[in-house]
Amino acid sequence: MRTFRTIAELREVLAPIRPRSTVGLVPTMGALHEGHVALLRAARRTCDVVVASLFVNPAQFGDPADLSTYPRDETRDARMATDAGVDHLFVPTVDEMYPAGYATWIEVEGPARGLEGDFRPGHFRGVATVCAKLFTIVRPHVAFFGQKDAQQVAVVKRLARDLNLDVDIRVLPTVRDADGLALSSRNAHLSREERRRALAIPRALEAGLTAHRAGRDPIAAARAALGDLDPDYVAVADFDSRPTLAIAARIGSTRLIDNVPLDETATGAERLAPAMNTPTMGGDPT
Ligand code: AMP
């Protein structure tokens, strides 16, 4: 695996490859875990050349403390990326992506409105801008994203469609820890007690899904199962035309998001049950 820090060097290597090979891109902010690895492996299975990016994108952070404490470990990430079969690792600096005088931002409306868009103003502007830049730099045929960030998927799909970016967006199921908690780089911030409290989130999603299947209100059921956890929101949204039960909640100073599509098959629903889902469980792109 080769590591690239400049756009020019990466482009030089990719230019002759692209016409004869399928290029897959997995954009990440690093602090890789098995959720990211599932995306990398899917890219490895389906593409000739796999590019992964590690870039903690300041433009998508509203809270300076969240940005400064975001976990970073490039050495470990590079090892995991190599093991997952990544060919090219793109690790640009902030200056490389946003040089002095940078002034162009992409504002997606529609799917970026509401939920995360309300609680994190400017977040999706940063996400859309960095994804558009990465798509322009790498020009992948396929880009891989996680269902874990369901609203982000809807935003990126709309971005690609509206700007005719000619990239196929594939979505992989959420990878969970053995106890049901969705893997997230931010889980590293949770104390043991906070982690125990965070388990109310997958439990609430499961309760909501069960209620929905029985013809009852998923939001009421999920709220009841959250117990004393005070969420930013519990909502059913149409993300990319998929009805999805989504929850965001703060546990101490850590904000977590998770969701479950309500049109999941029975097999999909079982993914929320702790015993059924280990971090090694991947899944095929949908
Ligand atoms: P991040 O590094 O948090 O920006 O995430 C990079 C990509 O990994 C995004 O497409 C996320 O949706 C995806 N991702 C993060 N956590 C998980 C997870 N637990 N399961 C599957 N994909 C994930």
Q: Which tens digit of pLDDT belongs to each residue from 24-71?
A: 999 999 999 999 999 999 999 999 999 999 999 999 999 999 999 999
Q: Is the CB of 111 under 6 A from ligand 1?
A: no
Predicted confidence (pLDDT) at residue 86 exceeds the cutoff of 90? yes
Average pLDDT over residues 63-85: 97
How confident is the prediction for the chain on average, in pLDDT? Answer: 93
Half-sphere exposure (Cβ direction) of 91: Cα atoms closer than 13 Å = 14
Q: What is the pLDDT of residue 264?
A: 72
Q: What is the pLDDT of residue 198?
A: 98
Contact 24, 170 (CB under 8 A): no
Q: What is the pLDDT of residue 271?
A: 59
Predicted confidence (pLDDT) at residue 187 exceeds the cutoff of 90? yes
Concerning whether 36 is annotated as a catalytic residue, the answer is yes
Instruction: Map out the domains of the chain with their CATH numbers.
Output: 2-172 (3.40.50.620), 185-272 (3.30.1300.10)
Q: Is the CB of 36 under 6 A from ligand 1?
A: yes
How far does the centroid of ligand 1 lie from the alpha carbon of residue 4, in Å? 21
Q: What is the pLDDT of residue 273?
A: 57
Q: Which tens digit of pLDDT belongs to each residue from 130-142?
A: 999 999 999 999 9
How far does the centroid of ligand 1 lie from the alpha carbon of residue 101, in Å? 30
| Closest-lying ligand 1 atom to the alpha carbon of residue 152 | 12
Q: Is the CB of 43 under 6 A from ligand 1?
A: no
Q: Which tens digit of pLDDT belongs to each residue from 226-281?
A: 999 999 999 999 998 899 999 999 999 999 999 999 997 644 544 565 543 433 33
Predicted confidence (pLDDT) at residue 183 exceeds the cutoff of 90? yes
Predicted confidence (pLDDT) at residue 163 exceeds the cutoff of 80? yes
Q: What is the pLDDT of residue 274?
A: 57
How far does the centroid of ligand 1 lie from the alpha carbon of residue 222, in Å? 23
Q: What is the pLDDT of residue 237?
A: 97
Average pLDDT over residues 221-226: 98
Q: What is the pLDDT of residue 189?
A: 95
Average pLDDT over residues 6-26: 98
Q: Is the CB of 259 under 6 A from ligand 1?
A: no
How far does the centroid of ligand 1 lie from the alpha carbon of residue 223, in Å? 25
Q: Is the CB of 175 under 6 A from ligand 1?
A: yes
Catalytic hit among 36, 88, 123, 141: 36
